[in-house]
Amino acid sequence: MSYNDPPCETNGRITLANVLTEMNDAGDFKISVLTSKEGLPIATAPPDHDSDLAAAMMALLQKVSNDAQSQIGMAPVDEVTIRDQNDFRLVCRHITVGQEELILSAIVPPDHPYRRVTNRALKHIHQLLS
């Protein structure tokens, strides 16, 4: 299955967890989390990951990006990336669905592209929540 196909269904229903799992598989991501802009966890993959800790981190990154936007006068932030010494990246992508602002985050291994895979997941998330 290519990631261009729609996410798999569980009992006839596509879920946010399905979207995250397939995104992880397509990008070889270790962990992904969808949170509210306040940092409340909505979905995680794998499901046994500590979503509260990840959500707290996303809320902190959201605050940093909001501060940068207001202090520097940047346009709304699309993405925040943190790279560690081993070249793993925590990539946080923003999405707005209706009035809700959400953050999709993934742990991306070194030298793995992520933008196309996360764009596809963002599209599926938007479709599910609209």
Per-residue pLDDT at 12: 52
Per-residue pLDDT at 54: 67
Per-residue pLDDT at 15: 93
Burial class (CB in 10 A: 0-12, 13-18, 19+), 22: buried
Structural domain boundaries of the chain? 16-129
Per-residue pLDDT at 128: 93
Q: Global pTM?
A: 0.81
CB 97 within 8 A of CB 129: yes
Parallel, antiparallel, or unpaired for β 32-36 and 89-97? Answer: unpaired
pLDDT by residue for the chain (130 residues), tens only, comes to: 334 444 444 445 779 999 999 999 999 998 999 988 877 888 989 877 776 666 666 677 777 777 777 888 878 778 888 899 999 998 999 899 989 989 999 999 999 999 999 999 999 999 999 8
Paired tokens of 45 = 């993959």
Cα Rg of the chain, angstroms:
14
Q: What is the CATH number of domain 16-129?
A: 3.30.450.30
Per-residue pLDDT at 124: 95
Sign of CA dihedral 89, 90, 94, 95: positive
Per-residue pLDDT at 61: 74
Residue 50 three-state SS: coil
CB 44 within 8 A of CB 57: no
- The angle formed by the CA atoms of residues 113, 114 and 117, to the nearest 5 degrees, is 120
